[in-house]
Amino acid sequence: MSDFISPFWSIYVTVITLAGIAGCALLLWITSRKPVVSHGPDNTTGHVWDGDLREANNPMPMWWVGLFIITVIFGLAYLALYPGLGTFAGQLNWTSRGEYEAEVAAANERLNTVYAQYASTPVEKLAQDTAAMGIGERLFMNNCAQCHGSDARGGKGFPNLTDKDWRYGGSPEKITATITTGRIGVMPPMAAAVGSTDDVANVAQYVLSLSGSPHDSLRAQLGRDKFAACAACHGSKGEGSQLVGAPNLTDKIWLHGYGANQIVSMITNGKSNEMPAQENRLTGPQIHVLSAYVWGLSNPSVVASH
């Protein structure tokens, strides 16, 4: 991989580019100095095809020569103004990223008038606005559906946004904070803190018992005391903590998979999950509308009653 970031390639591209333009200019100069030699009274080269098709020996037309010269001049001017010679940025300092950011800024400026009408409306009330929620749905499809699904029901490793199970809280304020700055959830490997392999298996059975799922009651009883290693985050009763994003283990919602083997794997290996921050992709007013849309997904009865 280091070969591709070596300064050699910058020099290589520069040399090849300039050599190509120089070659074109040299070819034009050589052909312009070469005299036109007639090989007969009809000014042909003597080559004949198909009985009567003769090759003329005329100089290149001036319009062709002019286009050739313009091409060479254009190529040099372009390389002076824009990036094209290795790491040279060009006199205009143009970049595709800069153009993209300028276009996004211009688009956001035009959209400000659209979002301005919603900026002061509380999320709960905004979720009842059909037009605003149409905009919110498009924002969700463009920025969130890749992970949470087009129906917002998520999948393994990606939370369902239509239920009441929230890692960090489902209030408008918490949803806005999550969308804006993102979240990084970490379940550290806990096998060493829990104890032996049998202890880990027993804790897994105890975790299953917390939600009333099928489990081995004897092993669950043995794992009860060992669960103390997990209580700092999940609480002594396994109800979780939105302060640190620890899941509630007393419901039957399993973000990373269900079953004793999956729980043992989580305790042994841990897990990291990241919800990327959207503050660099979306403006504040856009996040406000998107928050209202997401809040409405888990509060359909409140939205429908108005």
Domain coordinates in residue numbering, the chain: 2-81, 103-182+276-304, 186-275
What pLDDT, on a 0 to 100 scale, did the predictor assign at position 148?
Answer: 96
Q: Any residues with CB less than 8 A from the CB of 132 and at least 6 apart, and which?
A: 118, 121, 126, 289, 292
Q: Do domains 103-182+276-304 and 186-275 have the same CATH topology?
A: yes
Stretch 16-24: mean pLDDT, rounded?
91
CATH number for the domain whose boundaries are 103-182+276-304:
1.10.760.10
Amino acid in position 63: W
Give, in order, the Cα–Cα distances in Å from 243 to each of 169, 174, 246, 259, 277: 8, 11, 8, 26, 18
Angle between helices 284-297 and 172-181 (to 10 degrees): 130
Residue 35 pLDDT > 80:
no
User: How does pLDDT run across 199-247, given as a tens digit for each residue?
Assistant: 999 999 999 999 999 999 999 999 999 999 999 999 999 999 999 999 9
Percent of the chain with pLDDT over 70: 95
Which of 29-38, 65-74, 137-146 comes out lowest in average pLDDT? 29-38
User: Given this structure, which CATH class describes domain 186-275?
Assistant: mainly alpha
| Model pTM score | 0.69
User: How does pLDDT run across 61-70, given as a tens digit for each residue?
Assistant: 889 889 989 9
Residue 53 pLDDT > 60:
yes
